[in-house]
Amino acid sequence: MAFVNLKKKQIQVKIVYYGPGRGGKTTNLEYIYSRFSERIKTEMVTIKTHGDRTLFFDFLPFDIGKIKGYDVKIQLYTVPGQVKYNATRRLVLRGVDGIVFVADSMAVRKEKNILSLKNLEENLSAYKKKLNQVPLVLQYNKRDLAEQGIPLLSHETLEQSLNADLKAAAFDASALTGKNVVATMKKIIALTMVSLEKQLS
């Protein structure tokens, strides 16, 4: 549940970008930060290894102004995608309000996507949450690689393997070029705000 300050009429919303390692979670946040830093007037916090992998998490907070009379502060997080960092992923998921699952469209990453989604479900269950009860958007990233002749999973295959039961909103995207990065973020914020409004009313 989001942090709500009734006295100050503030809501802090936590959105976590989850997915397999090297899938583009950090690149999503970097794109948003690089394109809109002038407007959101904030700093992106990132803790990386010297090999450019996310070590703990990335954090991008920004205000979106008043919704229903409340000042809404959005906090975007990523988790480290590497399998070995599961305890960190679980900690970052604590108090999550909405999730973007960033899947890697490369054909060779099909299994990694499925395993990561399963891992997300397991980690949510530690907080007694079910994936189909949390606002969720799927992003099928790296679609730009098709132009380079890299074998990709089709949208239909990704839907079948990841979204058949969840039936969440899904976007084909390229975090590198920015295609549908903002659309994904807008969608998860909107879904999360609707969900929070229901919980608060």
Partner 1 sequence: MNTKGDEAVTEEVEKRLDDIFGDEGDGQPPSLDNGSLAQDSPLRNLKGIVLSIDWEITDEIMDRFLEEINRLRDSYAGEKIPGLFLQLLGSVGKYIRNQKARAHPDSIRVLNSVYNSFEKVLMDGSMPEAEKRNWLFNEVNHFKKLKQDISHARSEPTESAVQPEPPAPQPTEEAPDEGGGVETVSPGPEQDIMPAHEAFAYALEEIRQVIKAEFQALRAELRLWREGR
Q: How far is the CB of 129 from partner 1 (least distance, A)?
A: 16
* E strands, the chain, in order: 3-5, 10-18, 45-48, 54-67, 70-78, 98-104, 136-141, 169-172
Q: Minimum CB separation from partner 1 for residue 153, in Å?
A: 12
User: CA 32, CA 117: separation in Å to the nearest integer?
Assistant: 24
128 binds partner 1 (CB under 8 A): no
| Interface region with partner 1, contact rule CB under 8 A, candidates 4-12, 34-42, 128-136, 163-171 | 34-42
Given a contact cutoff of 8 angstroms between Cβ atoms, the answer to whether 155 and 172 are in contact is: yes
Q: State how far the alpha carbon of 151 is from the alpha carbons of 103, 128, 167, in Å.
A: 15, 38, 25
φ and ψ at residue 141, rounded to 5 degrees: -90, 170
β-pairing, 45-48 with 54-67? antiparallel
Among 9, 35, 118, 167, which residue interacts with partner 1 (rule: CB under 8 A)?
A: 35
**Smallest gap, in angstroms, from Cβ of residue 189 to partner 1?**
6
Q: Which stretch binds partner 1 (CB under 8 A): 1-9, 59-67, 132-140, 161-169?
A: 59-67
Our CA dihedral for 173, 54, 31, 40, rounded to 10 degrees, sits at 130
- Decide if residue 40 touches partner 1 (CB under 8 A): yes
Quick note: the x/- pattern for partner 1 over 129-168, rule CB under 8 A, is: ---------------xx-xxxxx-----------------
Task: List residues near partner 1 by CB under 8 A.
Answer: 21-22, 27, 30-32, 34-40, 49-53, 55-56, 62, 64-68, 72, 82-85, 87-88, 90-91, 106-109, 112, 144-145, 147-151, 176-178, 182, 185-186, 189-190, 193-194, 197-198, 201
